Amino acid sequence: MITLKEALKLSKEELNKFKEDLQAKIAANPELNAYIDVNNVGEGIPIAIKDNIQVKDWSVTSGSNILQGYIAPYNATVIEKMLNAGLSPFGRTNMDEFAMGSTTESSFYGKTLNPVNAECVPGGSSGGSAAAVGAGLAIAALGSDTGGSIRQPAAFCGIVGMKPTYGRVSRYGLGAYASSLDQIGPMTQNVEDAAILYDIISGHDVKDSTSAPMDDKVSDKLNPERKLRIAVLPKYVENASEDIKSAYAKAIEALKAAGHTIVEKEMMDAKYDISAYYITATAEATTNLARYDGIRYGNRVEGKNLEDTFIQTRSNGFGDEVKRRILLGNFVLSSGYYEAYYVKAQKTRHIIKDEYEKIFQDVDLILSPVAPTVANKFGELSNPMEMYLSDIYTISVNLAGLPALSLPISKNADGMPIGLQLIAKAYDEQTLFDGSLSLEKAIGYKA
């Protein structure tokens, strides 16, 4: 598969031929279920789009039954930016319903398979985007990251996934899960492509009230030769598998060999991250999903009266995981529990942010695992709590609003990819990409 950087140099004729070949390759690999639809918008470079990002005149369903029949009336800001840069949306990728999940098994369209091992999950919720890139069925893709939903599937599928600083990429046109945590980001074959796609989709947007008034570009200033201070977290990785610990040690040695300074730091027990995240995310999800009532758009199940129509529509339209999170969100926001849970979660979120800021007073980047294990097999995380705990290393980044990038480091004995992430201070994407490119070159890993 050609890279995004290479695709930008193709002639019109070469690009049209490439897109024909790509469509044929996608059609020949339906069992992967990375794509829900293959649609081509415009004559630009084809980029796969997660099914929760609005593309005008496309069916956009967030992987849910309740949105069957909904046609997007407008383009998300990231889509407009892509079209203006000569890129074109090319197919909807599968995802966990409303981005709620870590395996892409909760999708209305069925599960997506990991392109490395079909018995394993591709991660989630952006599993379709990760699988498409990992299988060579996309040059690059867009995903969304609420608690690791770009970085974790990227790690499981052996590709690069980048979550920008909160506010650096417009959320206008993104189907909301948790509005204070969601970010759209690039999923690519390498770090340089991620920087190129990030530059295209980032920037200030008046349509998004949380958009940062910044338009800085990074790809034309990439410098893998910069010598950085990078924090490592020995105690933080103690609960990770031996595969992850081994890759972590390998990455540290590679960074040292590249001339970076390694500094040991500590962070508080990640169990507090999990608690703060799931209280915050489910509370916001409950509010955001209240609009799906079968009246304004999407599927409707007619009831005996208006109230019964609401109940029947939502009962039949939402899957089990979404219902579970709606119930939890309503609980933590309910009278008598709001102070005990939601307010405490916000205080904990502030502590997490302060902890990161303290570490970044002394270092440029933090090296962390993405997940405690490699991709698990289907059915292994049948307990919802086990699935929630698989996000243990990613969710604090979203709670603090920081940028982070997952990149492949090695493979385990079974050939499954192992990814790690670098984390930077807010709005310091340049250092994040510089350090990530340096690590990529030092590791020399090829998917």
- Cβ count near 168 (within 10 Å): 25
Computed over every residue of the chain, the mean pLDDT equals 95
Q: What is the mean pLDDT of residues 318-332?
A: 94
Report which listed range, 255-259, 379-383, 386-390, is most confident.
255-259
The single-letter code of the amino acid at 13 is: E
Q: What is the pTM of this model?
A: 0.96
Q: Is 353 exposed, middle or buried (0-12, 13-18, 19+ CB in 10 A)?
A: middle
Residue 447 pLDDT exceeds 60: no
Q: Within the chain, how many helices (H) and strands (E) appear?
A: 14, 11
Q: Which residues have a catalytic role annotated?
A: 50, 125, 149
Q: What is the mean pLDDT of residues 3-24?
A: 95
Residue 232 pLDDT exceeds 80: yes
Nearest to 297 by CA among 73, 98, 92, 69: 69
Q: How far apart are CA 221 and CA 215, in angstroms?
A: 14
Which tokens is 127 given? 């599993």
Residue 430 pLDDT exceeds 80: yes
pLDDT digits (tens, 9 = 90+) for 26-76: 999 999 999 999 987 778 999 999 999 999 999 999 999 999 999 999 999
Residue 295: pLDDT band by 50, 70, 90 thresholds?
A: confident
Strand-by-strand arrangement of the 160-163 sheet: 35-40, 87-93, 45-50, 141-145, 183-188, 160-163, 404-411, 417-424, 365-369, 229-232, 261-264
At 381 the pLDDT is 76
Which tokens is 390 given? 């698989």
Report helix angle 320-333 to 271-288, nearest 10.
Answer: 100
Residue 446: pLDDT band by 50, 70, 90 thresholds?
A: low
Q: How far apart are CA 363 and CA 398, in angstroms?
A: 19
User: Tokens 């995240």, residue?
Assistant: 277
Q: Is 9 exposed, middle or buried (0-12, 13-18, 19+ CB in 10 A)?
A: exposed
Which domains are seen in the chain, by residue range? 4-266+354-443 (3.90.1300.10)
